[in-house]
Amino acid sequence: MTEQTNIQVQKVDEYRWKIAKEGNMRVDGIIYADERMIEEIKKDKSLDQVANVAHLPGIVKYSLAMPDIHWGYGFPIGGVAAFDAEEGIISPGGVGYDINCGVRLLRSRLFREEVSGKMKRLVDTLFSNIPSGVGSRRKDLKLDFQREKEVLSKGVAWAVSQGFGTEKDLEHIEEGGCIKGADPAVVSDKALERGRAQLGTLGSGNHFVEVGYVSEVYDKQLALALGLELDQITVVVHTGSRGLGYQVCDDYIKVMLNAAREYDIELPDRQLCCAPINSPQGRDYFAAMACAANYAFTNRQLITHWVRQSFEQTFQMDLRHLQLDLIYDVCHNIAKFETHVVNGQKKKLCVHRKGATRAFPPGHSDVPEAYRSIGQPVLIPGDMGRCSYVLVGTVGAYEETFGSSCHGAGRVMSRNQAMKTAKGRHIARELEDSGIFVHAATRATLAEEIPEAYKDVTEVVDIVHHAGIGKKVAQLRPLGVIKG
């Protein structure tokens, strides 16, 4: 089923490839990749999807693809597309089912030597404090609809008001942990029902909490500004909006399938279903998406609370000593209203990032004051057992990709193939042998997520760095992971 593409690409330079506009494409496609990566990308229909997105009304400049691009449904994963806020469309497929799946990075005052010998205990404590796996739900935090709607409207501010974190955390989250325009009235009861008992849970698949350490520093000055130094212990939290987000996406795909017909929008692929941004359906979807996004921000905040507690329990130290400050939290499945310069003019756009991260440059007012001189932190989680990266946003990204960068390592192997490759291997032991403790809730997860199943995140990040759409700051290596 994974068929080669027939789409032709032209080399622009070492790191940029173009799909020239043809047929009903309104703009060109631009893919960030190197010689080796582009050959990999041609092995499935990702490029067809990049070309398909270019058909959509109101698309501005290019249909973009990051180096970690892979085949999704409708929009490719690792795709960025911006639409004119007046004339353009908004599409749930351009955001994804896991609305605001994203990642945050915490730094601690501990160093590698101080945690050796305690990692297994820490991983087990994290696993018992943070429900993960299929259908994970919390017994100690089941919300009624009223309180749940407050989460959807207020995002992380709600969590802080309930004692889960501090005001300082709020300043270090994209959008301050709350996207404006959220309206719980347009979120279905089905979605609310799914979200009730899942706040503060990890979910499954490629979601995880990873304790690691800074293994390499590429830019000392930037690292210092982020409070990072070699061997320092870090924590990465990767999860999204759980069942609530998936239901919002499902609900609005149904709405948009009908809307596309109503507004006479020609779709090369049904999964690109959409509506004009300025339509009741378009407005409702954004308002519902914002609710799901706020749920996800809050979810990561609550998980952070239990990460902090788990550290306190394991190391018998309080937070004043451990610190575990939030460096930053970013979305990588989202649609945002932003102002960008297009053909010399400032335009309001709806930027869709599906498997892509915002990467705003130094000086941008949306970058927290603490980082305004260096650029927005960009967090790129690697797959299980390999490394993650911390970057900052650049002027290059702002000018070329609507201030966007990659989100992680894309998959190259189907889960089926990964299971076959992993057969007979004891994945947990392989990881333990390389010094990484893993506690996974679902049996198949480890096999599906073997390192070979993913593109090399190092290669992806190097392409981003050399293309100038992100600047490498540091590398993190895992020590302990809990997975769904």
User: What SS3 class is residue 31?
Assistant: strand
Binding to other proteins (CB under 8 A) within 244-283 occurs at 246-247, 249-250, 253-254, 257, 270-271
**CA nearest 181: which of 158, 152, 207?**
152
Q: Which is nearer to other proteins, 190 or 364 (CB)?
A: 190
Binding of other proteins by 204 (CB under 8 A): yes
Cβ-contact 131, 390 below 8 angstroms:
no
Q: Tell whether residue 313 is a contact of other proteins (CB under 8 A).
A: no
Give SS3 for 443: helix
CA gyration radius, the chain: 21
Under 8 Å CB-to-CB from 429, ≥6 apart: which residues? none
Half-sphere exposure of 289 (CA within 13 A, CB side): 31
Its sign, for the CA torsion 153, 195, 241, 83, is negative
72 binds other proteins (CB under 8 A): yes
**If 0-12 CB within 10 Å is exposed, 13-18 middle and 19+ buried, where does residue 202 land?**
buried
The CB-of-347 to other proteins minimum distance in angstroms stands at 31
Options 11-19, 167-175, 301-309, 415-423: segment touching other proteins (CB under 8 A): 415-423
Pairing mode, strands 333-342 and 325-331: unpaired
Single residue of 324, 441, 467, 476 touching other proteins by CB under 8 A: 441
Question: Could you tell me the two tokens for 94?
Answer: 């351009």
Task: Report the C-alpha gap between 413 and 451 in whole angstroms.
Answer: 10
Read off the DSSP letter of residue 451. Answer: G
Kind and range of the H or E run holding 250: helix 242-262
End-to-end CA distance of the chain: 27
Binding test (CB under 8 A) with other proteins, winner from 200, 243, 408, 478: 243
Q: Least distance in Å: CB of 416 to other proteins?
A: 5
In this structure, what token pair is assigned to residue 386?
Answer: 């390999």
Q: Is 44 in the site for other proteins (CB under 8 A)?
A: yes
417 touches other proteins by CB under 8 A: yes
Q: Closer to other proteins at the Cβ: 313 or 442?
A: 442
Stretch that binds other proteins, among 59-67, 70-78, 344-352, 387-395 (CB under 8 A): 70-78
The residue from 109, 190, 364, 386 that contacts other proteins (CB under 8 A) is 190
484 contributes a contact to other proteins by CB under 8 A: yes
d(CA 189, CA 448): 33
Catalytic residue among 70, 172, 352, 407: 407
- Size, binding site for other proteins by CB under 8 A: 46
Q: Is 94 in the site for other proteins (CB under 8 A)?
A: no
Establish if 415 lies at the interface with other proteins (CB under 8 A).
yes
Residue 211, token pair as written in the block:
């304790």
> CB-wise, 317 or 419, nearer to other proteins?
419
Q: Choose between 308 and 411: whose C-beta lies nearer to other proteins.
A: 411
Q: What are phi and psi of 453, to 5 degrees?
A: -75, -10
3-class secondary-structure state, position 229: coil
Which 135-164 positions form the footprint of other proteins (CB under 8 A)? 135, 137
Q: At its nearest, how many Å lie between other proteins and the CB of residue 173?
A: 24
Which residue lies nearer to other proteins by CB, 4 or 10? 4
Nearer to other proteins, 87 or 452 (CB): 452
User: Which of 58, 92, 205, 377 contacts other proteins by CB under 8 A?
Assistant: 205
Site string for other proteins, 394-413 (x = CB under 8 A): ----------------xxxx
Q: Which residues, listed in sequence order, are joined to residue 217 by a DSSP beta bridge?
A: 474
Indicate if 407 belongs to the active site. Answer: yes
Give Cα 243 to chain centroid, integer Å.
16
Amino acid at 27: V
| Residues catalogued as catalytic | 407
Residue ranges in contact with other proteins by CB under 8 A? 1-2, 44, 70-74, 77, 97-98, 133-135, 137, 190, 193-194, 203-205, 243, 246-247, 249-250, 253-254, 257, 270-271, 410-417, 441-445, 448, 484
